[in-house]
Amino acid sequence: MAIVVIALVALVAVAVLGGAHWYVWRRLVRDTTRAWGPARVTGTVVLIAGPVLMIAALAAERGGAPFWLQRVLGWPGFLWMALVIYLLLAVLAGEVLRPLLRRFLERRGRAGTAVEETAVEETERPAPEAGPSRRLFVSRVVGGAAAAAAVGTVGYGTYGVLRGPGVKRVTVPLAKLPRSAHGFRIAVVSDIHLGPVLGRGFAQKVVDTINSTQPDLIAVVGDLVDGSVKNLGPAAAPLAGLRARHGSFFVTGNHEYFSGAEQWLEEVRRLGIHTLENARTELPGFDLAGVNDIQGESEGQGPDFGKALGDRDATRACVLLAHQPVQIHEAVKHNVDLQLSGHTHGGQLWPGNFIAAAANPTVAGLERYGDTELYVSRGAGAWGPPTRVGAPSDITIVELASKQA
């Protein structure tokens, strides 16, 4: 039965993907060209090769293909994933503009004809020059604008990721935080997603940005990698350069369990980063705890809030590292003062923020749940397309404030 359901879902996904590409081809290629000349052939080849490369890139990453092949397929395949989204949105928007532009041209044409008919016809009117019909002209104008808008959007969104994350600052007052810990600064970084596209150079940018803020503590809140230690160990090596007065701490995200969580936990420790695997440590002024990601349940290593928080001194403030915002409900039950999360990417590609909002209590930023504050970072990197639209990447400096101060 499960196989049948999976097959039906796959069939629907292929049908939707094929239908979307056919629609984009029809509006951008067929409707803007007269016949099967070079332009139509080139457009058709692009709109066939794009989805093939996209599916191949996804299959190579998830299937553990040779890393060189993942890198070859990653850039064109994942960029097409972003590009086709905005081509589709732009073409749909063009459906609104198309009749308006056609009506404007028709009115202008009628006005021109009326002027000509009232003119004195003393000379023979020259034969009109051959050119595209009004419908073809409108299709080319709307199609060209749609393509330019999509390419510009994806290009700018990709540039935003590759130049590295910006620094965001937020202050969080905690009732139990003593005066001595007032102003304690935690650099929160999540969803770096080192992989076939974002590699060692990107990791170094993240490290340099964090170190430039001179934080008291660094929290790496999951989804560090998309691949094995064998393939991505060199890419993650710059993380050994992270510097903070009270050290760096790491909890797993869901993608670690797709990439060999045990090996990555060992590698992270080798890089000098402390791992919090359903564990807690006491820092001056507050407790720092961390729980495994929910995906770990598939390997018998899921989150255990009782183990991480069960026997702690409840009079002390507690900051919890948990990759997914949905873990906030357990955090509230265990009297956590502040949960730091990632996972959502802020939606990454608009309008993905609406989808993320349906699956997460908070998509990005600071919100309060009972007596517990939840801060969700949009993340430093990107999964799939190295592109962000409407959800710029960030590293957040969370400054703890004592209400006693």
CA distances from 22 to 11, 25, 186, 348, 378 (A): 16, 5, 48, 25, 33
Q: What tens-digit pLDDT sequence spans the chain (405 residues)?
A: 778 777 788 788 889 999 999 999 999 999 999 889 999 999 999 999 999 999 999 999 988 899 999 999 999 999 999 999 999 999 999 999 888 888 888 787 676 665 555 544 544 555 444 446 888 999 999 999 999 999 999 999 999 999 999 999 999 999 999 999 999 999 999 999 999 999 999 999 999 999 999 999 999 999 999 999 999 999 999 999 999 999 999 999 999 999 999 999 999 999 999 999 999 999 999 999 999 999 999 999 999 999 999 889 989 999 999 999 999 999 999 999 999 999 999 999 999 999 999 999 999 999 999 999 999 999 999 999 999 999 999 999 999 999 876
- For residue 20, give the nearest of 88, 78, 80 by alpha carbon: 88
Residues in Cβ contact with 377 at an 8 Å cutoff, skipping those fewer than 6 apart: 188, 189, 190, 191, 221, 340, 341, 342, 364, 394, 395, 396
Q: Is 288 helix (H, G, I), strand (E, B) or coil?
A: strand
Amino acid 112: pLDDT: 60
Amino acid 387: pLDDT: 97
φ and ψ of 317, to 5 deg = -65, 150
User: Cα separation of 88 and 101, whole Å?
Assistant: 20
Give the CA-trace dihedral at 167, 233, 322, 373, to 10 degrees. Answer: -10
- For residue 384, give the nearest of 47, 55, 58, 50 by alpha carbon: 58
CA distances from 293 to 119, 253, 254, 256, 281 (A): 79, 5, 6, 9, 18
Helix pair angle (229-236, 261-270), 10° resolution: 30
φ and ψ of 373, to 5 deg = -90, 140
What's this model's pTM, rounded to 2 decimal places?
A: 0.90
Give the CA-trace dihedral at 279, 282, 287, 293, to 10 degrees. Answer: -20
Assess contact for 325 and 343: CB atoms under 8 A: yes
Q: Which spans in 119-133 are helix H?
A: none
